């Protein structure tokens, strides 16, 4: 058998390099796992809560009943919001629409009416009314 490492010092160094890589890879894996857990907790916000930039879920979305004034002189009236925030009644162009809460990956509050295709989306500071059947916004930049 031929020994390719002429000195014991070089041999020890060559044996230590794979161990160093294995240790570094383990550290990266643990860091990635903890980042994934904190990212998942930020993404797993329930209806009514949006993650703050720090990743904590202490910034709550505000959705109140009332008369929302929108761009282009449009208006939307949110008449009633269930106590559990599972549904609301929204008035648009003289018709009342019952909308059910749906989960949003972005953290926005989203309510939809399956029969009309309308979707009311609330983000921090403003809301939008979308017609999902036509694929367009019908009321934008709505504020109380």
What pLDDT is recorded for position 63?
A: 87
d(CA 14, CA 4): 11
Task: Give the pLDDT band of residue 24 (cuts 50, 70, 90).
Answer: very low
d(CA 118, CA 76): 12
pTM over 0.85: no
Per-residue tokens: 130: 């979308």
Question: Is pLDDT at 126 greater than 70 in this prediction?
Answer: yes
Question: Is pLDDT at 27 greater than 70 in this prediction?
Answer: no
Question: Is pLDDT at 82 greater than 90 in this prediction?
Answer: yes
Q: Which of 141, 140, 117, 119 is nearest to 130 (CA)?
A: 119
Sign of the CA dihedral 116, 121, 122, 126?
A: negative
Q: Give the Cβ contact number of residue 129 at 10 Å.
A: 22
What is the mean pLDDT of the segment spanning 34-60?
Answer: 38
DSSP string, 45-88: --TTEE--TTS-S-EE----SEEEE-GGG-EEEEEEE-TTSSEE
Dihedral class, residue 22 (left if φ above 0, else alpha if ψ from -120 to 50, else beta): alpha
Question: Is pLDDT at 55 greater than 60 in this prediction?
Answer: no
Average pLDDT score over the chain: 73
């Amino acid at each position: 058998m031929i020994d390719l490492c002429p000195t014991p010092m070089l041999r020890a160094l060559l044996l230590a390099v794979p161990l160093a890589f294995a240790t570094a890879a383990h550290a990266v894996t643990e860091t990635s796992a903890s980042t994934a857990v904190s990212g998942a907790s930020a993404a797993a916000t329930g209806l009514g809560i949006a993650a703050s930039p720090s990743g904590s879920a202490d910034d709550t979305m505000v959705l109140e009943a009332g008369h929302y004034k929108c761009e282009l002189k449009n208006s939307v009236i949110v008449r009633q919001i269930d106590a559990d925030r599972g549904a609301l009644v929204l008035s648009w162009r003289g018709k009342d629409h019952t909308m059910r809460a749906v989960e949003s990956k972005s953290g926005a509050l989203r309510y939809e009416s399956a029969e009309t295709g309308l979707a009311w989306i609330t983000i921090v500071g403003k809301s939008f009314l979308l017609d999902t059947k036509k694929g367009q916004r019908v009321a934008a930049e709505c504020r109380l």
